Each structure stands twice: as structure tokens, then as C-alpha cells.
Amino acid sequence: MKRKTKLTRSSGNVFEDLDVAMPEETLAKAELTAKIAEAISTLGLTQAAAAKILGVDQPKISALLRGRLSGFSTERLIKFLTAFGRDVEIVVRVRPGARRHGHLQVISA
């Protein structure tokens, strides 16, 4: 007998789906971290070399690349990206009337 699998439509934010506190900020931090990892790879840096550029120790880079984001603010992640020569733009818009609260989103160009 086949079992029916119950599917739940995603909200589009895995952290919201998992009921993580501050899901939009957590998603933004994860996306910024992915860009940091991409920069490290593109620049051909070791974790130690990346740490030196960012002024942190290698274990912090390891933690970051493993998704341990609690020790990193969004501001700090943005500073890391600019240290790697990446431009970061922050755009503030009036929210559409249909939404009660504004939202945070990272868009890659």
C-alpha cells in the first residue's frame, strides 16, 4: 500500500518554514554568507588568507562557512563583502499597501 506524502507549500523562506526567529534577517545573512564564500573561492583564498584580509582568525571563517551565523551581524557580513572588493547597495522603498510590514531581501547582481 502506498502512503500519501503530505506536502506543505514553502513560504519561499526556509527559515520562516522552520519557524526560526527573525527569518528574513536569517535568510539575508545566509545569502550574504553565500556571497562571501563565493568571493573567497573566486579570489582563490584559503580560510587563513581570507581571515587575514577580514581581520579575524581562521576559526571564525570556518564557522561562517559552515553556516554558524549567530556571531555575525548583517553589518559585519556587509563589511566582509566590501573588504573582498564587492559593492553592496542598500535600497529602501515604501512597502506596498497590501503588506503590513516591510521586508528584508538580498538580491545578487
**Reported pTM:** 0.81
Instruction: List % helix, strand, coil for the chain (3-state, nearest 5).
Output: 45, 0, 55
Q: 3: which 3 cell numbers?
A: 502512503
Task: Give me the pLDDT at residue 99, please.
Answer: 65
- Model pLDDT for residues 15-36, shown as the tens digit of each residue: 888 888 888 888 899 999 999 9
pLDDT in tens, 37-65: 999 999 999 999 999 999 999 999 999 99
Q: Above pLDDT 90, what percent of the chain?
A: 53
Query: What does the domain layout of the chain look like in residue ranges?
Result: 22-83
- CATH, domain 22-83, list 1.10.760.10, 3.40.50.720, 3.30.450.40, 1.10.260.40: 1.10.260.40
